[in-house]
Amino acid sequence: MATTSKPDKLDEVRKAVDRLDSETRSADQLMKGITLLLNEHMLKYNWVGFYMLEPGARPPVLVLGHYQGAMTPHTRIPLNQGICGAAASSGKTVVVDDVATDSRYLACSLETKSEIVVPVFVRGEVAGELDIDSHFPAAFGAEDRNIVEYCAQVVGKRLERERAATS
């Protein structure tokens, strides 16, 4: 019997993100495009947004950038607060299957059940992060982690190129 495997989601998103990377005029536009793409394409990604470290801020603070989804009260997050702060300060992806059981969680919407936050690196340093909330518990499995980490990587490389060109 012939086997036809359907193209996996990671592959599809990779291609779409690569296309966005080559078609957008700035890292800022790329980030906007990624929030739109993931929010539209991935059914369980109900809130998708970037937080970027404010340049020169001491103590460091994450500032909300482009996002899709409900308005959030958390537009500035210090690194010692929230799941966002945990991901940025550790430089590691954080996946929370049930936000109700995580004392670090800063509520954005009552509907949110699970969350993934992936750091964006520029020249090996955390420059910001991609944050995704879902209305479904445990929405972020291994494939989702790969997809979101790929998006964060492409943004980091784009920021590197952009910052090298303007410095």
**Footprint of ligand SME on this chain (CB under 6 A)?**
47, 72, 74, 77, 82-84, 105-106, 108, 115, 131, 133
- Strand residues in 12-135 grouped as ranges (E): 47-53, 61-68, 76-78, 94-96, 114-122, 125-134
Q: Which is nearer to ligand SME, 26 or 80 (CB)?
A: 80
Q: Which residue is nearest to ligand SME (CB)?
A: 82
Q: How far is the CB of 72 from ligand SME (least distance, A)?
A: 4
Q: Which is nearer to ligand SME, 84 or 118 (CB)?
A: 84
Q: Which is nearer to ligand SME, 115 or 144 (CB)?
A: 115
| DSSP states along 37-60 | HHHHH-TT--EEEEEEEPTT-SS-
131 pairs with which residues across the strands? 49, 117
Q: How far is the CB of 142 from ligand SME (least distance, A)?
A: 21
Contact 103, 116 (CB under 8 A): no
- Six-digit token string for 141: 């499995």
Q: How far is the CB of 67 from ligand SME (least distance, A)?
A: 7
Q: How far is the CB of 132 from ligand SME (least distance, A)?
A: 9
Q: How far is the CB of 20 from ligand SME (least distance, A)?
A: 22
Unique residue bearing structure tokens 């995580």:
102
Q: Which is nearer to ligand SME, 7 or 59 (CB)?
A: 59
Q: Which is nearer to ligand SME, 73 or 124 (CB)?
A: 73
Distances from the Cα of 89 to the Cα of 8, 118, 121, angstroms: 32, 11, 12
